Structure 1
């Protein structure tokens, strides 16, 4: 039994899906607190975010289709779903014709849910994106998607460094950032620093893109240059 003290998840009688989602944003980014929280949330996560109009997976997939317009190309594209959770993004990607999808996430119970979808080739739990992704060889993937991870109380902007490393030169990263996260994380500035080094370049952004009923997100489409 974990001894981490963190925000309560277990529902009170009058709790709503909105209450639980808001509680997740009170996390401090501490790995133990996050792991405990999502272990308890895994069973009801899909229902809660669906109830709150979660469109991040659909929007992320639409952008992925834009950068790989040919269906035959999508079937050959290797994809890493970083912070895959219960597999909502993977399901959307598979429906769009992406055939080689792997997933990583901090929470083992969330990964177990993703495995039940049958859409992933390989899944790995226990991965903290604030640290190098040692379970993946550098320059492995054609496409990396990261939806719902860069949000308040979860990962720092520097996690972008580790995501860039697992994408091959010429590959693409598609990342969502909740607007509340952008205003307090320094993500935009850190991305700019990476661009200045020549590691990545910005292909496009989607400002105020659909994300969840409460709040929009900014979506970033990035090219890994070297």
Structure 2
């Protein structure tokens, strides 16, 4: 008998407020939540309700023609987006994520060339080398208790000249989350070191919630 799928927002996520509360801010608790569900994360997410990884992987594939390009997955977790990119033929994918337990799951899949356990913070330079990557991408990393708008400065720093950045997130956080409302888009759009190539809306990004994908190119 086929196992009945669970609703990601109702039963599977349970009390993980960081996925449901637009004003959740405790990043340390978010990391603990990810650690607690790392072993079951793929089962929770890979049930057809979360299309973000496939959408962003498709967007990256559309703009990056060189399959040997060097990519980095920001807050890549267990590697769901990287796995989709592997299907397109991309082989050189790094990951940076603040949750070691999630990265351990990703390592078992061998989808990343390098895994870096590090938290990206506004105004703080990471250990990543400048102008290293052809493409920086992140899926769902701009969410309550996750990344702050200012970390996109780090995205730009580690991108090669004329490199691309693909950011995917739930649309509602732009209007309901204190950290992003009237902050995230204005901050990204005002930066002079990259330019917006595309802003596209997708239905059913996460269950019945729409998503937004931004594509930037470093100037």
CA offsets 1:154-179 (integer angstroms, 9 cap, x no match): 22111211212111110000001211
TM-superposed CA distance for 1:28, in Å, is 3.4
Q: Unpaired runs of 5+ in structure 2?
A: 1-9
User: What secondary structure sits across from 1:138 in the alignment?
Assistant: coil
CA distance in 1, matches of 2:44, 2:141: 16
CA distance in 2, matches of 1:168, 1:81: 15
Question: After superposition, where does 1:51-200 map in structure 2 within 5 Å?
Answer: 51=47, 53-69=49-65, 73-74=66-67, 76-130=68-122, 132-183=124-175, 184=177, 185=180, 186-194=183-191, 198-200=192-194
Q: Does 1:202 align with 2:196?
A: yes
1:222 paired residue number: 216
2:7 paired residue number: none
Aligned length: 204
TM-superposed CA distance for 1:127, in Å, is 2.4
User: What secondary structure sits across from 1:16 in the alignment?
Assistant: helix
**TM-score after normalising by structure 2:** 0.86
CA offsets 1:75-109 (integer angstroms, 9 cap, x no match): x2000001111100111111111111000101000
Q: Unpaired runs of 5+ in structure 1?
A: 1-14
TM-superposed CA distance for 1:126, in Å, is 3.0
CA distance in 1, matches of 2:26, 2:160: 30
* More displaced 10-residue stretch of structure 1: 97-106 or 41-50: 41-50
Contact 2:170 / 2:206 at 8 angstroms: preserved in 1? no
User: What secondary structure sits across from 2:25 in the alignment?
Assistant: coil
- Structure-2 change in CA distance of 1:175 and 1:100 (3 Å): same
CA distance in 1, matches of 2:123, 2:110: 28
* More displaced 10-residue stretch of structure 1: 129-138 or 210-219: 129-138
**TM-score after normalising by structure 1:** 0.83
Contact 1:29 / 1:155 at 8 angstroms: preserved in 2? no
